[in-house]
């Protein structure tokens, strides 16, 4: 029996699919993989890549933290923010990375180094998710799916 997965933010439902085989999420203690018939679980999420496998296809999302709940074969993710890899504005993420890098270079001048470091981590994660999606796009005559292990 496949998993039902719902990814929700305060603004929208990012994903609602009842045919998922595996959910791999960035939990506080490390990545967690959820398979059908997983034990009930509630865990905080950290900013990172959410991977969803359905058959041979794997889809990536960026999540900016939140919570993951597993009840029977239903996985619910309440994310602070989430976006599909294809929705990531790479130019905007690069700009955010550059601004965070500049802020960190001036760390002695600013009181909130932690905020600049968090902004840097988020922008780098967004870029990683977008790059993973770009690399996994099949060319003409190539099979779909993620080439990475």
pLDDT single digits (tens) 73-98: 999 999 998 988 777 667 777 777 77
CATH code of 127's domain = 1.20.5
pLDDT value of position 149: 38
pLDDT tier, 136 (very low <50, low <70, confident <90, very high otherwise)? low
d(CA 54, CA 43): 22
pLDDT tier, 110 (very low <50, low <70, confident <90, very high otherwise)? low
Question: Does residue 33 sit in the same domain as residue 79?
Answer: yes
CATH code of 62's domain = 2.60.15.10
Question: Does residue 67 sit in the same domain as residue 130?
Answer: no
Total domains present in the chain: 2
Question: Does residue 128 sit in the same domain as residue 76?
Answer: no
Question: Does residue 8 sit in the same domain as residue 73?
Answer: yes
pLDDT digits (tens, 9 = 90+) for 30-43: 999 999 999 999 99
In-domain check, residue 78:
yes
Query: DSSP letters along the chain, please?
Result: -PEEEEEE-SS-EEEEEEEESEEEEEETTEEEEE-TTPPPEEEEEEEEEEEEEETTEEEEEEEEEEEEEEETTEEEEEESSEEEGGG--HHHHHHHHHHHHHHHHTGGG-S-HHHHHHHHHHHHHHHHHHHHHHHHS--TTPPPS-S--
In-domain check, residue 143:
no
In-domain check, residue 105:
yes
Domain that holds residue 66: 3-85
Question: Does residue 79 sit in the same domain as residue 93?
Answer: no
């Amino acid at each position: 029996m496949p998993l039902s997965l719902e990814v929700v933010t305060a603004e929208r439902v990012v994903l609602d699919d009842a045919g998922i085989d595996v959910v791999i999420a960035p939990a506080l203690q490390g990545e967690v993989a959820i398979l059908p018939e997983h034990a009930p679980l509630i865990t905080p999420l950290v900013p990172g890549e959410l991977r969803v496998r359905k058959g041979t296809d794997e889809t990536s999302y960026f999540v900016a933290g939140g919570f993951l709940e597993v009840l029977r074969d239903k996985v619910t993710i309440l994310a602070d923010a989430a976006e599909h890899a294809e929705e990531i504005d790479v130019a905007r993420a690069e700009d955010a990375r550059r601004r965070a890098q500049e802020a960190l270079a001036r760390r002695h001048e600013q009181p909130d180094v932690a905020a600049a470091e968090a902004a840097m981590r988020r922008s780098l994660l967004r870029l990683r998710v977008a790059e993973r999606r770009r690399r996994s796009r099949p060319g003409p005559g190539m099979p779909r799916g993620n080439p990475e292990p």
